[in-house]
Amino acid sequence: MAVVGTRNPTGVGRESGFRLGYELAEAGVPVVSGLARGIDIAAHRGAVAGASPDDSGATIGVLGCGIDYIYPQSSRQLAGRLLEVGCVVSEYPPGVPPLQHHFPMRNRIIAGLSVAPVVVEAAERSGALITADCAMSEGREVLVHAAALSSVRSAGTRALRIQGAAAVAGLAQVREHTGSALAELPPRRSGSGGSVQQPVPRDWRAVGEWLVAGLRHERAAHSTGRGQ
């Protein structure tokens, strides 16, 4: 499931993104988002918190740059943690900086990797709406989070609701509106309290250590001066 939204959420939006990420990961449903400030980071953090300690598929961060750039810089530590319970992916080769036009393109990958996106909180021109449009173009369900529908930063979310997007408040309603799609996912945990079938691959750990240590391109965010 993709969990996406504004870079400037309200407290309600941030909490809703975190809680949904947590519930999905705890239930063994991978959480896909873009490692951007705001809702994306909240959802990833929720997924990391909800994952079992040795999970290897709880959350996927999709970048708009090469994987040797983590942008924004504030996401670097979280990216390292993601690699312990998931992965970070990019269509761009190493060395490609975070250019502004990459991020709308990145959103089609977020949509493509998910059964359906949940737009938690989004303004009228939020990039999260691009993710929703991409999902709809593929005939996929688009959901909105009920908790943040009335917020001052949810004009785009309300527009999706008017267009027919279902409002969900948590995992149970997500399952209800995605039908059998989530039920078909293979379980990642055993039935004995939370251990998973596969350990984190060693190369993911190495990449995570590399990213967090900032061995290259530490100046990326400063030199580009571009947001997402």
Average pLDDT over residues 165-193: 73
Band (pLDDT 50/70/90 cuts) for residue 213 is: very low
- What HEC string does the chain produce? CEEECCCCCCHHHHHHHHHHHHHHHHCCCCEEECCCCCHHHHHHHHHHHHCCCCCCCCEEEECCCCCCCCCCHHHHHHHHHHHHHEEEECCCCCCCCCCCCHHHHHHHHHHHCCCCEEECCCCCCCCHHHHHHHHHHCCCCCEEEHHHCCCCCCHHHHHHHHCCCEEECCHHHHHHHHCCCCCCCCCCECCCCCCECCCCCHHHHHHHHHHHHCCCCCCHHHHHCCCC
Q: What is the pLDDT of residue 200?
A: 39
Q: What is the pLDDT of residue 180?
A: 64
Q: Does 221 score more than 80 pLDDT?
A: no
Supply φ then ψ for residue 102, to 5 degrees.
-70, -30
Rg value, the chain, Cα = 17
Band (pLDDT 50/70/90 cuts) for residue 228 is: very low
Average pLDDT over residues 73-99: 89
Band (pLDDT 50/70/90 cuts) for residue 186 is: low
Band (pLDDT 50/70/90 cuts) for residue 220 is: very low
Q: What is the pLDDT of residue 184?
A: 58
d(CA 79, CA 61): 8
Q: What is the pLDDT of residue 210?
A: 43
Average pLDDT over residues 92-110: 94
Mean pLDDT of the chain: 82
Full-model pTM: 0.80
Q: What is the CATH number of domain 2-178+189-224?
A: 3.40.50.450
- Asked if 47 contacts 58 with a C-beta cutoff of 8 angstroms, the reply is yes
Q: Does 223 score more than 60 pLDDT?
A: no
Q: Does 196 score more than 50 pLDDT?
A: no
Distance, first Cα to last Cα, the chain: 21
Decide which of 55 and 6 is more confident.
Answer: 6
Q: Does 160 score more than 50 pLDDT?
A: yes
Q: Does 73 score more than 90 pLDDT?
A: no
Distances (CA, A) of 124 to 12, 102, 130: 18, 20, 11
Average pLDDT over residues 10-15: 96
